[in-house]
Amino acid sequence: MKKGQIIEGVVERMDFPNRGIVVCEEGVCTVKNALPGQKVRAAVNKARNGRYEGRLLEVMEPSHLETGSPCPHFGSCGGCTYLSFPYEESLKIKEGQVRRLLAPVLQKQEGECLFETAKASPEVFGYRNKMEFTFGDEVKDGPLSLGMHKRGSFYDIVSVTDCQIVDEDYRKILRCVRDYFEKLRQQGVDVSFYHRLRHTGYLRHLVVRRATRTGEILAALVTTSQVPGQTAEEGSGALAGMRESGTCGQVVRADQSVLSEKNGIENEILHGLKKRLLALPLDGEIVGILHVRNDSAADVVHSDETTVLYGRDYFYEELLGLRFKISLFSFFQTNSLGAELLYSTAREYVEGHAPDKIVYDLYSGTGTIAQLMAPVAKKVIGVEIVEEAVEAARKNAELNGLHNCEFIAGDVLKVLDGIEEKPDVIILDPPRDGVHPKALTKIIDYGVEHILYISCKASSLARDLEVFLARGYRTKRCVAIDQFPWTAGVETCVLLSRKKSGGKSTKIEIEIDLSEADRRECIGTATYQEIKDYIWEHYQTKVSHLYIAQIKKKCGLDVGENFNKPKTEGNKVPNCPPEKERMIIEALEYFGMINKE
């Protein structure tokens, strides 16, 4: 098998997260988005160290498991993976992926681990409580689209007006917003979507959050500062003035907005949108409509300024008898009923070990787990790097009458040394890439009897479990929980206990011999050379390590301390050109280091 070769074969299985293992005459090749049982044709685009990766060209024969999709966008939209399978089959696939990833680790420990049957989401359709839709077009110079990225595309957007993982309120809001702006465009109003390569245009995203229990809805239109009738330079200049005055990033009422006072056309546009949204016949209730300005080059929802056009900038949701105040940017599980299942499982795993004890909730987000543990614990200390989330956690604990919760803002690695009260139990719910190695060492050094690890990326979990086992822990219970039906994502909940000391010591030997490709697949990262190779392969363009580091930094990824400092005093460091920034971001998405959505 060699690069550029066209192969045909049958998908034997699906490895985490969406990598089909295709068996053909020439050998075995990994093909993304190819489903178990399908016969596919693929082009080999990577051949290294006896490992082969291919790009899906065609599904020649469907899988015997496929029963058809209830969504007309399935296949073109990049959101769902298993929508053509019965739900029970998709759940088995996810459980199998987690078992295969953790098996090599669990085999090294003494004693058995109770690996439970995967838990299904209470609802499999209309379950999402947050969606970020993107403005664009599905074909070049086509009508305005508002929805999700087309599968495998960096630019094209599919209008998901019949998406099945959200309820009808989302679909009505999406249609309303898209149709409104498309009509304005047809009338000659300059409301073009944001072009990520040229960094021009007005419309960026629509964010909708809807509480499952209360039915409260928050809708936010995200645009650039390039309002109709204003150039990009004028818009950027206005935002620069806001930054100097200290108003950038603040939430203001519509009549206090700095920029909207300067553009009557934009005021009219936003007022018209507000009227149409409030006139929609919805099952829920819109409690807030926001306008967010974002001039970041990265394709993420970020606020330079947030204006409240109607109502308030938060809504309420209820989980397991607790009430939570949630803002537009607060982290909260995207499946409310699934979150109840996840947190109930977490509480079941650790509550027998927590009575009258100090519990650390690390990477605590808005403090949901901490508040669920508070009634049985002596005290719960949550640590979270996002200050807004910490503030929300404090307010939510007060709202629920919980006075034994303390929330600290800061990086877990740096904060732990300053906490005087030592833990008896530790709960971990880290980001996708797992726990920082230095933070992991500090956590293990506490020597607590029980640790609960909740992971949304099983490959990162497997890597961290290796370290736990080597340092004297063993896994007692483990279960996969489907928080994200039909997609490739799955949560995993693991209870670890410290082995009793005494008697003959046991030594656990770990041999790790990974190629760079193996390492990237396990931890969702890539070397600088792999990123450079990807860009050369697709664009025949060279990029420097400096440019890659700059864009990694912009996307919130770790880089070295001195990556952007000149070698000699007085020298200037060049900035990455926009066209190369786009290529680097595409490579980071390809290697799973950042998400498209």
Residues noted as catalytic: 456
- Per residue, the 3-state secondary structure of 210-272, as one string, reads ECCCCCEEEEEEEECCCCCCCCHHHHHHHHHHHHHHCCCCCEEEHHHCCCHHHCHHHHHHHHH
504 three-state secondary structure: coil
531 three-state secondary structure: helix
Helix H or strand E segment including 466: helix 458-470
Q: Which has the closest alpha carbon to 580: 300, 302, 297, 301?
A: 297
For the chain, helix (H) and strand (E) counts, in that order, are 14, 23
362 three-state secondary structure: strand
87 three-state secondary structure: helix
Supply 273's token pair: 């949108």
Supply 166's token pair: 């959200």
CA distance 591 to 586: 9
Rg (CA), the chain: 25
95 three-state secondary structure: helix
Alpha helices (H) in 377-432, listed in sequence order = 387-399, 412-415
Supply 415's token pair: 């904060």
Helix H or strand E segment including 235: helix 232-245
Supply 190's token pair: 């300059």
Task: Output the CA–CA distances (angstroms, integers) from residue 582 to 154, 225, 401, in the order listed.
Answer: 9, 21, 48
Angle between helices 578-590 and 545-554 (to 10 degrees): 70
Is the CB of residue 155 less than 8 Å from the CB of residue 366?
Answer: no
| The 130-137 sheet, strands edge to edge | 157-158, 144-149, 130-137, 203-210, 216-223, 285-293, 305-311, 251-253
Helix H or strand E segment including 377: none
